[in-house]
Amino acid sequence: MNRILLAALSAAVAMTLPARDAAAQRRITPFVGGGLATGTGDLGENTDSGWLAFAGIDLPLGVGPGLTFGVTASYARVPYKGGFDEFTGVPALFGELGYVIGAESSRIVKPYLRDGAGVQLRKYDPGTTGFREQSDGGLAFSAGGGLQFSLAPASLFLGARFVSDADAGVLGF
């Protein structure tokens, strides 16, 4: 995980170093979000809907309008069915490419896409079941899309986000 974080931060710093004129037009854009989440794959068995929260930064790449590179950190909490208060927490960290379709258009509503790679950790909390805690993690990917609503001075994004490794993941809205 440390190597991926170091690589993502190095790439973000490297993109800020080119020419001064280009740097004047590049802005780091922070973002936060959250919503409803459901487990997928192995995590989708016997679980209820939970929640997802995320935050990150984006930096325009400068190769075309609407194309960005960003780093996103997220946390999802997916509870299990039953009265034992058990759940799986899924923290994740991703380097992602984002694209707003028609970014230079004057339209208020524009579609967007986002894809990335990183790491996720699934940590099982047994609640009052008497089982022991377990965790599993590794490389994972993220994908998302939706609509951007341009409202000065900020933008609102509504969409879906999917985060998964080979066995299980989270789908958030």
Measured CA to CA, the distance from residue 101 to residue 98 in angstroms comes to: 10
List Cβ neighbours of 80 (8 Å cut-off, separation of 6 or more): 46, 47, 48, 86, 87, 88, 127
Query: What is the reported pLDDT for 26?
Result: 58
Query: What is the reported pLDDT for 21?
Result: 39
Instruction: Print pLDDT tens along the chain (173 aa).
Output: 444 443 444 444 333 334 333 444 558 888 898 999 999 988 888 889 999 999 999 999 988 888 999 999 999 999 999 888 899 999 999 999 999 998 888 899 999 999 999 999 999 888 888 888 888 888 999 999 999 898 878 888 888 989 888 788 888 88
Per DSSP, the three-state class of 8 is helix
Closest CA to 109 of 168, 144, 150: 150
Query: What is the reported pLDDT for 5?
Result: 40
Closest CA to 143 of 158, 160, 118: 160
Q: What is the pTM of this model?
A: 0.78
Per DSSP, the three-state class of 23 is helix
- Residue 159 near residue 145, CB atoms below 8 Å: yes
Name the strand (E) or helix (H) holding 65: none
